[in-house]
Chains A and B, each alone.
Chain A
Amino acid sequence: MRDGEIQAAGIWKRFRADRQRMLLRDQLDRVKRRLRGRSNAHGYRWALRDVDLAVGPGESIGLIGPNGSGKTTMLRLLAKVMYPYAGRVAVGGRVGALIDVRAGIHPDLTGAENVYLYGSLLGVSRREVARRFDEIVAFGELETAIDRQVKFSSSGMHVRLGFAIAAFTEPDVLLVDEVLAVGDAAFQQKCLDRMRAVLAQGTTVVFVSHDLQAVESICERAVWLREGVVESDGPVRQVLGDYRRTVEQAAEILTPALGVVRVVKTEIRGPGGDTPVSQRPLEVKLLLESPEPLWAAMSIGVSEGPATPIFLLGHEALLPAGQTELRCEIPFLPLPRGRFYLWFGIIESTRDLVPWHPVGQFEVLGPELTPTPRGILRMAPVQVTPTWEVEQR
């Protein structure tokens, strides 16, 4: 087995569904439930079912999937923190795992003491930490936290501390779990840069995140886990595209029937009533039904990813009782080719007349967007047509 290689085959992992803790009060609680005639539903819940993952040295893999799909469990198995119920896991070379970097940090110790503690947890010798101490402090921007007990620092500081040390370990395989969630934008970009630098040195990276943009900017390949099963495994753009679509479809299914005003019908048309085209006019027609005359502040949004709109349009108008047609014309559609979702809501400070939810989806024809160079967090896709001039001065 080569350094940096991961071979996991036929992995099964289960947890007790009802964690039978052995504390006396839990036991008493169970007895009580028994006495009331309610049975205890124990048994097991499978966290991973027959998962295969083969990664070559220097590859970068993103593990994606909704909460509870087994991503973190998989990472823990690779890190040897946990053992599988069935199957084989083999990882070649030194493994560096960043699974909740706050775990190793003790609140009562100072930043400096924690740097040494976390360093030796990750297997970096004290001498090595001492040698690179200034670098670590500079990378994590930890100057203010060094002499202070960590409990008096912000939670962002904890993550920076953890990542700063971890960034200086030189593993063959780096496992990273959602560590970038905390930390400000600049630090996130710094962490991504660092991970890409590590990748460039030939380290294998397995990255778990809900931040699909971060996954896309780091990983070449993505594995999508769904309820403990590999749903899809392939090039990152393809897998993320599939994943985004199901998340959005799920959002649509979850559309609430609440709200005072009802959206009866949605129509989205391009020029001449056809499919919308990039950089051409777009017309949106919504048929609304209100039980009473209402002054409504309406919002229309277009999204590619769930809930976060690419652009938002607002309009206030009086809705009479009964059905009303709302027409909105966009003279110049700034979207590239792709599939988009139309969101609508009438939101007031005290109540939502219509909760913010997707009311339709549409295809846009047109040119493809300029590909994002890897390493830049991808922005929401907006089609802009500039004119370029390159002139020597």
Chain B
Amino acid sequence: MTQASTRATEPPPDTLFRLKVRLVPAVREVWQRRELVRTLAERDLRVRYKQAFLGIAWSILTPLALMVVFTVFFQRVAKVDTGGAPYALFTYLGLLPWTFFSTSVSQGGQSLVTNNQLVNKVYCPREVFPLASMAVAAVDTLLATLVLGLLFAITGFAPKPTTVWVPVLLVVQVAFTFGVTLVMSAVLVFLRDLRHVLPIILQLGLFATPVAYGMDVVSPQLQVLYSALNPLAAVIDGYRRTVLLGLPPDWQLLGPGAVTSALLLAFGYVVFKRLEPGFADYA
């Protein structure tokens, strides 16, 4: 037996631990644990509805309230060119992806910290925590989408057949949202101040994204750059074109947006995996 006094005080540098990340097994593992994502999301939903008197209504109230506010103010004050569609529909179609994004990022961003009890004590692929938050946001969005149907009925406006493009837009939207959520959740473990900054950034983001207004506020030359910087702009524009105007998505805008989303998702995953060894130590 070695005596403690004669022991080295530092490990030999060549034995330092490095987490080996292989993409395919890592993704497969998350896929195998998809039930856990569901269970965690279900837990959050159940807890929320047990505590809140209005329960499920909260999923709908947030976008609905913003829609009403925007409709009352923007429609009167600033004339927004909706291409002939009712403004309420126009802005609600922007609010749906935006609310999904902002809920995912704010809840998912904090998911590793709020679940620190589990991060510290139970092994599972860490991605399940931001994913579960996104699943909760997705359920909220789905419920809020039901209101969209109601809005169509009230306004007497029907969705156009080009609505079939929606799944394509959805892929870009989810990829972008997942990328940002991954980065936020990982970085927030180490930089807790972000928790307080995040709501402010998201508030600003609402106005940096064409939710209350249309793509046309940006001059045509800058629209491509705008879409590349903020893929949600291209996505929201796409929803409006396909659902309300009967046009296909503007590929010149959606293309750059999709590229940015893909890059961001890859970047987010790398950041997440790089920081993962420290999660349990700091969370």
Contact = CB atoms under 8 A, between A and B. Distances in A.
Interface string B208-224: 00000000000000000
A94 B43 CA distance: 25
A23 B281 contact: no
Given A99-B122, A113-B43, 16 more contacts: A15-B281, A23-B192, A24-B196, A80-B123, A86-B11, A95-B123, A97-B122, A104-B118, A104-B121, A106-B43, A117-B40, A120-B36, A120-B38, A121-B39, A227-B4, A229-B7
- Say which size band chain B's interface belongs to: 35 or more
Interface in A89-141: 95, 97, 99-100, 103-104, 106, 108-109, 113, 116-117, 120-123, 125-126
Interface string B1-31: 1001001100110011101000000000000
Contacts of B17: 83-88
Contacts of B73: none
Interface in B183-200: 190-193, 196
A9 B276 CA distance: 22
A82 interface: yes
B277 interface: yes
B15 to A, nearest CB: 4
A109 B51 CA distance: 11
A87 B11 contact: yes
B168 interface: no
A49 interface: yes
Interface of A: 10, 12, 15-16, 19, 21-24, 49-50, 76, 79-88, 95, 97, 99-100, 103-104, 106, 108-109, 113, 116-117, 120-123, 125-126, 149, 226-227, 229-232
Given A15-B281, A83-B277, A87-B17, A103 B193 contact: no
Chain B CB within 10 Å, residue with most, of A83, A97, A120, A125: A120
Given A23-B192, A109-B47, A81 B120 contact: yes
A108 B17 CA distance: 39
Nearest to B17: A84
A174 B40 CA distance: 24
Contact of B39 (A10, A95, A120): A120
A229 B123 CA distance: 25
Nearest to B194: A22
Given A227-B4, A232-B1, A81 B122 contact: yes
Interface in B63-109: none
B15 A10 contact: yes
Contacts of A230: 1
A108 B281 contact: no
A103 B124 CA distance: 14
B33 interface: yes
Contacts of B192: 21-23
B118 A82 contact: no
A232 B4 CA distance: 12
Contacts of B282: 19
B117 interface: yes
A103 B118 contact: yes
A106 B47 contact: yes
A104 B120 CA distance: 10
B4 A229 contact: yes
B141 to A, nearest CB: 24
B274 interface: no
A295 to B, nearest CB: 49
B160 interface: no
B15 A103 contact: no
Contacts of B121: 76, 81, 97, 99-100, 103-104
A375 to B, nearest CB: 28
A121 B16 contact: no
Interface string B254-273: 00000000000000000000
Interface string B171-187: 00000000000000000
A121 B43 CA distance: 12
Chain A CB within 10 Å, residue with most, of B33, B122, B276: B122
A239 B242 CA distance: 73
A22 B19 contact: no
A86 B16 contact: yes
21 contacts: A10-B12, A15-B281, A19-B282, A22-B193, A76-B280, A81-B122, A81-B280, A82-B277, A84-B17, A95-B123, A99-B121, A100-B121, A103-B117, A103-B121, A103-B122, A104-B118, A104-B122, A120-B33, A123-B33, A226-B4, A227-B4
Contact of A122 (B50, B51, B120, B122): B122
B250 interface: no
A120 B120 contact: no
Contacts of B39: 116-117, 120-121, 126
Contacts of A125: 35
Given A22-B193, A85-B16, A109-B47, A50 B118 contact: no
B46 A83 contact: no
Contact of A109 (B46, B123, B276): B46
Contacts of B123: 79-81, 95, 97
Contacts of B11: 10, 12, 50, 85-87
A88 B39 CA distance: 32
B35 A50 contact: no
A22 B190 contact: yes
Nearest to B11: A86
A121 B4 contact: no
Contact of A82 (B33, B43, B47, B281): B281
Given A10-B15, A21-B192, A23-B193, A108 B277 contact: no
A16 B278 CA distance: 11
B105 to A, nearest CB: 19
A137 B130 CA distance: 31
Contacts of A49: 7
A126 to B, nearest CB: 6
Chain B CB within 10 Å, residue with most, of A88, A106, A113, A121: A121
Contacts of A229: 4, 7
Contacts of A16: 281
Nearest to A75: B121
